[in-house]
Chains A and B, each alone.
Chain A
């Protein structure tokens, strides 16, 4: 008796695992594509715009977008970004000291040269985080699920939410369309 329950559990487990394995590639593919759109893109006309992408894959992206809105930027992104900004800052200061053909005015060159590494990293990280979160909230506004709409409405009325204005903007844009 005990053995047959154990056996059934193993069989069920096997099938659950299989489903997981089969389902995963599709979802991870969509997730990767979504992340591409969230970190930044260029609209040229050849690929789907962000709006088209979200609408085409609405079901698959809905839980991912909601999770990003709630949890924020994935930790590994921020970790990579910190390492990259250190390198970008060092490269920039080296270029600023070695070359003079950027076309920038003396005044603007000085402003750039004076920016400390801490200020640079802070600014770049904020820029990245803001971009990612605003885009995620924009994505949220394109979803028709009740959970998504409730979340958007909640953020748009929460004056303490860092991206309240983005949610409000997204709602205004939606009404215009």
Chain B
């Protein structure tokens, strides 16, 4: 009789040990969700070693992320969702127990942009710039960028004195000449509609990845989002992991427009300290910034090719 009880007791103990080690995974609870699908990248320590960017996609606000404990490297949660900026929380206190850690999305960021139309006809360029604003917002919303325009100001400088002096932006041109003579607003991205950039009417350039953008007169409306991406520190992507539908592809074609940002790029656009979002707009005060410029990947920097959702034929990876 007592032997039988002992067997049952041992079985119960074994089962509970098994349940705590296998069954009770840690969870991440999303706060301030807009009720859309969420994507997570989680760092911590698992039984098999350090976990970097374990990915999860779910419509639930409580998401199972597997069993994690504190890692001597990074312990963090990065989250993506529609209409909200990328959220990042570091120093997450993963324990050996069942953790429920929270992450909160900030409100959508609204930024002002000013367009300076230097070469006319003004009405044509107004339509081009307006079209670019709408297309950019369409992409931002579809691609979980979490940014909107508080103002998309369009200024007519076509009749300024010597306007034609500023029509052509040569490879060695000095942005200060445009800033001082055409106009410039320090606190935002400035886009200049010119005639040519480096001799070409279809070329655009965000000089030095800054908030100074120049466009040739036939620059595609669908590609202005690419230049704004540069202002947010994004670099060109032309490896086999990307294709011409990717916004940071170096070439655009209006007959086959851009559509996608990878999550690796979104992460950089938000957290890089050189991104205009931080350096010009200070739109994420008190939030984590990093230096993940270019194609570096580490525990601190999400792989630049990382995709939580499929981007057309490019599958989640």
Q: Is this pair of chains taken from one and the same complex?
A: yes
Given A95-B134, A103-B149, A112-B130, decide whether A42 and B204 contact each other with a Cβ distance below 8 A.
yes
A contact residues around B118 at 8 Å (CB): none
B contact residues around A77 at 8 Å (CB): 255
What is the interface of chain B mostly: helix, strand, loop, or mixed? mixed
B202 touches A134 (CB 8 A): yes
Interface segment, one of A13-21, A57-65, A84-92: A84-92
- Residue A150 at the B interface, CB < 8 A? no
Inter-chain contact total with CB atoms closer than 8 Å: 164
What is the interface of chain A mostly: helix, strand, loop, or mixed? helix
A contact residues around B202 at 8 Å (CB): 38-41, 131-132, 134-135
- Residue B48 at the A interface, CB < 8 A? no
In the complex, what distance in Å separates the CA atom of A39 from the CA atom of B203?
9
B203 touches A95 (CB 8 A): no
- Residue A148 at the B interface, CB < 8 A? no
Q: How large is the interface on B (under 10, 10 to 19, 20 to 34, 35 or more residues)?
A: 35 or more
Give the A interface residue count (CB, 8 A).
49
By CB atoms of chain A within 10 A, which of B152, B222, B227 has the most?
B152
A124 touches B199 (CB 8 A): no
Given A51-B199, A103-B113, decide whether A123 and B220 contact each other with a Cβ distance below 8 A.
no
- Residue A147 at the B interface, CB < 8 A? no
Please report which residues of chain A, range 74-129, place their CB below 8 angstroms from some CB of chain B when the two chains form the complex.
77, 80-81, 84-85, 88, 91-92, 95-96, 99, 101-105, 108-109, 111-112, 115, 123-124, 127-128
A contact residues around B133 at 8 Å (CB): 102-104
Please report which residues of chain B, range 138-176, place their CB below 8 angstroms from some CB of chain A when the two chains form the complex.
138, 141, 148-154, 168, 171
